[in-house]
Amino acid sequence: MKNTYKIISIYTLLSLLLTYFILGSNNISPVSDEWMLHGDAAQDLVVWRYFFSDEWRFPIGLNPNYGSGQGSSIIYSGSVPLLAIFFKTIKNFLPGNFHFFSIWIFICFLFQSLFSYLIIKKFTKDNTYALIASIFFITAPVFIKTAGIHIALFGQWLVLLSVYILSAHNKKSYWVFVILLSSSVHFYFTIISYGMYFIFKFDEFIKNKNFFNFIKDLLIPIYFLLPLMYILGYFSVSLQSIPGYGFDYYKANLLSLFNPTASNLNGMVEWSRILPSIDIKHNLNESFHYIGLGGLILFFLLITILLKDIKKIDFTKFRAIILIFIIFFLMALSNKISFGDKLLFEIPLNKYIYGFFSIFRAPGRFLWVCYYLILIYGIVIIYKSFNEKKSIFILSALLIVQIADSSRGLREYINGKSFNSEKIILDDPIWKKVENNYEILSSTLIKNQFNEFYNLLGFLKKASTKTEFAYMGRFDRHKMISQRYSNYNNFFSKKLPDNKFYIISNTGHLKHLKVLLDNENVGFVLRK
């Protein structure tokens, strides 16, 4: 028990330091938000502020004041519903400009280190070796890179938790817990955890040939998951609105593990001091899974040792892990298999099958499973192949190689460098008038990922006025179009609600409106 407290204390302190280093002193406070005003992080912040300032509704994840009428829910953002709901319950004790995203980054560092330690400790029974191994996971390029782009997806410890359950306990109750937990963080983790559970149960079915138990086991998590998804607000969007563009674009590449080039707020980032960049022209966010030079050596050693002892290996014992690796690897590649910038071949998909897979939208994220399995089994096989002292020496040397190689990329994520550093303030008096005199902020072109979203962040982050436009991961297309044409009808009939303030999307709209509303009691103002 003392050792457990000691390990948790070490990782808590380490996680606090890493959170401080990655955010910087100016950004670590839960009331400092300028660092989030870029990319998808800005969406996460604005969605949270609207949810935080609104009354409780049911389903509890509903967020109708943001993107009014479009099925807006805290679920369809990167705002970590679990924490959003928790902190909303204690909102009376928190300042109005509070957010939990710096706390979430700390939690992710803590659990990423702790679960990686537990996995390696389970296989090796060696505290020192597991402690050294955990550094590979908390400095993994694919992990650190995500913090600057998709904050909810920084929770990759959920992948490790699924692996830990698979390797250590494998009880249905634990699987149900992690599947439900993942659904309250981000749906991609739910797909991953349930996918791993499905494959494990399929492997059991191969062994015992009991089809009834197989189906029953598959349905048990669904039995609990669907009610929770309803309560959280997953079904606020119609089924036909769930598929999204990107299944064959936001995907992995056959060279993803080897390509050290990624992108962040400041442009291209080279993660290796040694390996050259590989030309992948598209989708550098989702295709990036550089495992590091130390990770590549681990991968090479894993393959070499396995091939050397291949006749001694009982593959039925590892069949579930092998199936998980192969299936998630193929899912990550999508139906378009690319090698660098070359499309090797494409598997044509029926439009209905393509529509189903479009629910996943960014399948490249499924390669996280393969990425962490390579690190885990590469680290474990060294310990199994050498004595304790030699294995610790080899792993320490590989860790030094890993850090030295990836330090070029890591330095781009120190002291808030991967986040916004510009002050975004709308200090024109007109915005105070909008806040005081209008209930709804609308647009002449209501759409998701609204053109002026980033220009209005200084106003939107206050969540003081309802909006009819939004930036969401999923939205109800039918409701959005209906809302758009309702506004058009008001323009043509010259019946503009007194409680709406409109952002004019382009000069063409401005010219048309000036003709439509000529001699009407309507004002046009120019603000930059």
Residue range 421-463, pLDDT digits in tens? 888 888 888 989 999 999 999 999 888 877 788 889 999 999 9
Confidence bin at 394 (pLDDT 50/70/90): very high
- Answer whether 133's CB lies under 8 Å from 117's CB: yes
> What number of CA atoms fall less than 13 Å from residue 35's CA on the CB side?
25
Beta strands in 401-520, from DSSP E residues, in sequence order? 440-443, 466-467, 500-503
Q: Please tell me what DSSP assigns to residue 165.
A: I
CB atoms within 10 A of CB 176: 18
Residue range 133-149, pLDDT digits in tens? 999 999 999 999 998 78
Give residue 519's region: left, alpha or beta (phi > 0; psi -120 to 50). Answer: left
Top pLDDT among 171 and 273 is at 273
Mean pLDDT for 48-71 is 92
Confidence bin at 281 (pLDDT 50/70/90): low
- Answer whether 192's CB lies under 8 Å from 158's CB: yes
CA 117/CA 121 separation, integer angstroms: 6
Q: Give the residues across from 270 on adjacent strands.
A: 261
Residue range 375-387, pLDDT digits in tens? 999 999 999 999 9
**C-alpha closest to that of 3 among 111, 175, 144, 125:** 125
| 2 burial level (CB within 10 Å; 0-12, 13-18, 19+) | exposed
Q: Please enumerate in sequence order all residues whose Cβ is within 8 A of that of 137, keeping only pairs 6 or more positions apart, or say none.
A: 112, 113, 116, 143, 160, 372, 375
Strands 500-503 and 440-443 turn out to be parallel
- Element spanning 227, H or E: helix 211-232
